[in-house]
Structure formats: C-alpha cells, structure tokens
Amino acid sequence: MANPQLNSGNPRVDIEYRRKKSAEEMRHQVVSFALMIFLTLIAFAAVAMKGFSAWFIVPFIILLAIVQVIFQLYYFMHMSHKGHEAPSLFLYSGVLVGAVTVLAFSTIIWW
C-alpha cells in the first residue's frame, strides 16, 4: 500500500520536506522549553522575594502555571497538530469537572 504522506511522487523530496518540518517543530519545542523554564523561574522568584502580598502572588503564580501547562499540552504533547479534536474534548471535559471540584472544595466546603 502506498504511503499516504508521500504524495509528490518522489519520496526523496517528501523526506526532505518532512525533515524540515520536524526540525521546525523541534525549534518551536525548544523555544517553549525555554519559556517554561523562564516562567518557572519567575514563579519561584516571586515567592522567594517575600515582598508581595498573597492576594497578588497566588493568582499570579497560578496564571504562570496555566500558561506553562498550555505550552506543555500544545507543543510537547502535540495538541497544536491536526487530528486532536477528540483529545481536546476528553481533556477539556476533565478540566471542567476538575475545576468545579476544586472550586467546590475551596469555597463551599469548610471546616
């Protein structure tokens, strides 16, 4: 059976193209890794400095965590690629249920 990705009729040309594509993807992944390290550093530094109030720091580091996780999901776990509609549905359904649980446990329930 013919390889569905090789469609120019010349396998060498397609391999060149694919190698270039994956090298480009690798570059994006290295950039997102650098950004993730950077965000982690900011979060740790913000807490280590002790100069800010908890009302500012807590939402700030949670925001940094969410941005970092988006990089992880879309670049490292390839969710930015085509064919990830079902994975997005599964993941975001999980996130929705999870968010409601966290919200309930941290606001409505107390001891």
Partner 1 sequence: MHAEEKLTYETWPAEPEKSTLEAKNKFLGFWFFLGGETVLFASLFATYLALKDKVPDSSHTLAKDLYDLPLTFVATMLLLTSSLTSVYAMYHMKNFNAKKMNIWLVLTLLLGLGFLGLEIYEFSHYVHEYHHTFTSSAFGSAFYTLVGFHGAHVAFGLLWITTLIVRNAKRGLDLYNAPKFYVASLYWHFIDVVWVFIFTVVYLMGMVG
Where on the chain is the footprint of partner 1 (CB under 8 A)?
1, 3-5, 11-12, 15, 18-19, 22, 25-26, 29-30, 33, 36-37, 40, 43-44, 47-48, 54, 57-58, 61-62, 64-65, 68-69, 72-73, 76-77, 83, 86-87, 90-91, 93-95, 97-99, 101-102, 104-106, 109-111
Sign (positive/negative) of CA torsion 21, 36, 78, 80?
negative
- Pick between residue 37 and residue 80 the one whose CB is nearest to partner 1: 37
- Pick between residue 80 and residue 105 the one whose CB is nearest to partner 1: 105
CB of 9 to partner 1, least distance (A): 13
Residues comprising the chain, all counted: 111
- Pick between residue 80 and residue 95 the one whose CB is nearest to partner 1: 95
3-state percent helix, strand, coil for the chain, nearest multiple of 5: 75, 0, 25
CB of 50 to partner 1, least distance (A): 9
Contact between residue 67 and residue 39 where contact means Cβ atoms under 8 Å apart: yes
Contact between residue 85 and residue 74 where contact means Cβ atoms under 8 Å apart: no
CB of 36 to partner 1, least distance (A): 6
- Rounded alpha-carbon distances, angstroms, from residue 26 to 19, 29, 69, 74, 85: 10, 5, 18, 13, 22
